[in-house]
C-alpha cells in the first residue's frame, strides 16, 4: 500500500516533518510493508525551509540575525537543490514562537531580523529568494526589514523612527540613498496564502495583532500608525499597496516587501506543492494523510489540508485529516475531498498536555485508523 503523508505543522508544537514522522510510525505499526512517502507541507510559515530543502535535496545555511525584539539569535536559510534559489522563513527571525508569551507586543516587535536574512542571502551571491512570511510576531509593515536593507525611515527631525508598530506614526520621509546595492538585482517571491489587505476590519492590525499580544486598547493606535505608513509608501513608490491581496500578511510585511523590494506574492501552498511534486505522488497513492493543529471553518480557505484534499479529490484518493483540535461543522471540509477528520486527543485534556503529547497522540490515532482499515481488508 502506497500512502502519502502531507501535513502542515502543529503550531507551537510539532514541525510538519515531525507530524509526518509520527503519522508514519502509526501506519507502520499495522502495515510494516507500507510504502510511505512523507511530504511535509507549509504555507509560508514555520517549516517552509525544511520542506523545500528536503524535497529538493538542498542544504541549510546558518546565519546570524535578530529576533523580533532585536536580540541576537542564530538563525538560518535554505538553499534549494538547484544551487541558485534561497528560501527564507521570516518566522526563523521575526517569528512569534521565538518569544515568550509575555514578550509578545506588536507595538515594539520588528522585522529587522528578516531583513538581515535577506541581506545575508544576497551577500552570499544568491539572486532568487523565496520568502515565507507566516508565523510573525510583528505589525510593523515591514519597516524593520526595510531598515535592515538600508532604507532610512526618518522622523520630522531626520532621525530614525525606531522599531515596531508604535514607531510608524512618526515616519516623515523615506530615504533610499543608502539601500543595499544588491537589492535591485534580486527577485523575491513571497510565499503566503493570506489574502488580507493592509488596513481596515479585515486588515493586518484588527485580524492578526490580537494573536500577537496586542491588547484591545492599542489596536486603534496600531491601525492609525499603519495607515500613516501606507500613505508614505504611496508617496514614495507611487502605488497604493494597502488594498493588494496579501498586503496585510505578517503584520503588513506583505505590503512592505512589495513596496521596498518589488516582491511578488504567490500562493505558499501552490509553490511548495509544485516544488515537492505533491500531485504526482498523490496521483499514484492508495491513501493520503494530512493535518494541522486546528481544523475549523477557516481550513477550507486555502490552508494545507484543503489544498491537499483538492488534489486528492481530483484523482479519487481518500484523505484522512488529523488535528489537535476540531471546531465547527465539517461539511465544507468533506466537500473539498477530506474523507474523514479525526482529533488526536484520546480523552479530555488541556492544551498544554495536548502539545506535550502531540507526537504520541498522532501515532496512536493513526494506528487505530489503520487497524480499522486492515480489519476491513481482511473481510
Local structure of residue 288 (DSSP, 8 states): E
Last residue of a domain, one of 246, 268, 290: 268
Number of domains, the chain: 2
Last residue of a domain, one of 242, 268, 294: 268
Grid-cell match 475549523, residue found: 296
Q: Are residues 83 and 216 in the same domain?
A: yes
Last residue of a domain, one of 230, 250, 268: 268
Residue 226, C-alpha cell as written in the block: 499603519
Parallel/antiparallel/unpaired status of strands 173-175 and 152-154: antiparallel
Residue 131: partners with Cβ closer than 8 Å, 6 or more residues away:
87, 88, 89, 90, 114, 118, 188, 189, 190, 191, 257, 263
Q: Are residues 246 and 338 in the same domain?
A: no
Q: What is the CATH number of the domain that holds 121?
A: 3.90.1510.10
Which residue, 169, 90, 106, is CA-closest to 140?
A: 106
DSSP for 222-246 reads HHHHHHHHHHHHHHHHSS--TTSTT
Range of the domain at 83: 48-268
User: Which ranges in the chain belong to alpha helices (H)?
Assistant: 16-30, 48-56, 91-94, 112-123, 143-148, 204-208, 219-237, 249-261, 268-275, 278-283, 304-314, 331-336, 351-356, 358-377
Mean pLDDT (whole number) for 96-123: 97
Q: What is the CATH number of the domain that holds 326?
A: 3.40.50.10350
Q: Are residues 71 and 202 in the same domain?
A: yes
Q: Are residues 215 and 356 in the same domain?
A: no
Name the average pLDDT for the chain. Answer: 93
Q: Are residues 105 and 254 in the same domain?
A: yes
Which tens digits make up the pLDDT trace of 256-308? Answer: 999 999 999 998 888 888 888 999 999 999 999 999 998 987 787 667 899 99
Q: Are residues 264 and 201 in the same domain?
A: yes
Q: Are residues 36 and 72 in the same domain?
A: no
- Tell whether the model's pLDDT for residue 378 goes beyond 70: no
Mean pLDDT (whole number) for 78-87: 96
Which tens digits make up the pLDDT trace of 346-370? Answer: 888 888 888 899 999 999 999 999 9
Q: Are residues 77 and 99 in the same domain?
A: yes
Q: Are residues 125 and 252 in the same domain?
A: yes
Which residue, 303, 267, 251, is CA-closest to 114?
A: 251
Q: Are residues 95 and 205 in the same domain?
A: yes
> CB 30: neighbour CB atoms within 10 A?
17
Q: Are residues 257 and 294 in the same domain?
A: no
Q: Are residues 35 and 76 in the same domain?
A: no
Amino acid at each position: 500500500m502506497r500512502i502519502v503523508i502531507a501535513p502542515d505543522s502543529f503550531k507551537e508544537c510539532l514541525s510538519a516533518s515531525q507530524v509526518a514522522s509520527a503519522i508514519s510510525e502509526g501506519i507502520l505499526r499495522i502495515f510494516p510493508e507500507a510504502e510511505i512517502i512523507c511530504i511535509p507541507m507549509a504555507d509560508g510559515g514555520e517549516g517552509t525551509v525544511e520542506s523545500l530543502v528536503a524535497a529538493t535535496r538542498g542544504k541549510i545555511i546558518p546565519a546570524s540575525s535578530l529576533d523580533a525584539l532585536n536580540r541576537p539569535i542564530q538563525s538560518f536559510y535554505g538553499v534549494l537543490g538547484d544551487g541558485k534559489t534561497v528560501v527564507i522563513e521570516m518566522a526563523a527571525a521575526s517569528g512569534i514562537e521565538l518569544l515568550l508569551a509575555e514578550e509578545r507586543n506588536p507595538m515594539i516587535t520588528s522585522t529587522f531580523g528578516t531583513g538581515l536574512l535577506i541581506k545575508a542571502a544576497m551577500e552570499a551571491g544568491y539572486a532568487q529568494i523565496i520568502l515565507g512570511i507566516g508565523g510573525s510576531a510583528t505589525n510593523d509593515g515591514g519597516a524593520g526589514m526595510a531598515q535592515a536593507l538600508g532604507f532610512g525611515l526618518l522622523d520630522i527631525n531626520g532621525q530614525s523612527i525606531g522599531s515596531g508598530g508604535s514607531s510608524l506614526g512618526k515616519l516623515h520621509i523615506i530615504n533610499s540613498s543608502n539601500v543595499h546595492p544588491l537589492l535591485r538585482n534580486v527577485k523575491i517571491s513571497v510565499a503566503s496564502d493570506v489574502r488580507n489587505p493592509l488596513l481596515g476590519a479585515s486588515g493586518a492590525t484588527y485580524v492578526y495583532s490580537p494573536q500577537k499580544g496586542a491588547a484591545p486598547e492599542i489596536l486603534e493606535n496600531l491601525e492609525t500608525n499603519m495607515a500613516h505608513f501606507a500613505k508614505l509608501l504611496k508617496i514614495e513608490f507611487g502605488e497604493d499597496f494597502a488594498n493588494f491581496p496579501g498586503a496585510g500578511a505578517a503584520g503588513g510585511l506583505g505590503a512592505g516587501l512589495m513596496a521596498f523590494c518589488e516582491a511578488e506574492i504567490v500562493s505558499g501552498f501552490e509553490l511548495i506543492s509544485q516544488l515537492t511534486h505533491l500531485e504526482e505522488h498523490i496521483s499514484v497513492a492508495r491513501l493520503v494523510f494530512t493535518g494541522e493543529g486546528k481544523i475549523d471553518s477557516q481550513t477550507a480557505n486555502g490552508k494545507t489540508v484543503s489544498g491537499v484534499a483538492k488534489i486528492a479529490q481530483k484523482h479519487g484518493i481518500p484523505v484522512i485529516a488529523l488535528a489537535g483540535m476540531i471546531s465547527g461543522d465539517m461539511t465544507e471540509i468533506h466537500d473539498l475531498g477530506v474523507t474523514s477528520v479525526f482529533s488526536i486527543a484520546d480523552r479530555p485534556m488541556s492544551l498544554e498536555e495536548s502539545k506535550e503529547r502531540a507526537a504520541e497522540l498522532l501515532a496512536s490515532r493513526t494506528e487505530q485508523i489503520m487497524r480499522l482499515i486492515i480489519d476491513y481488508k481482511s473481510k
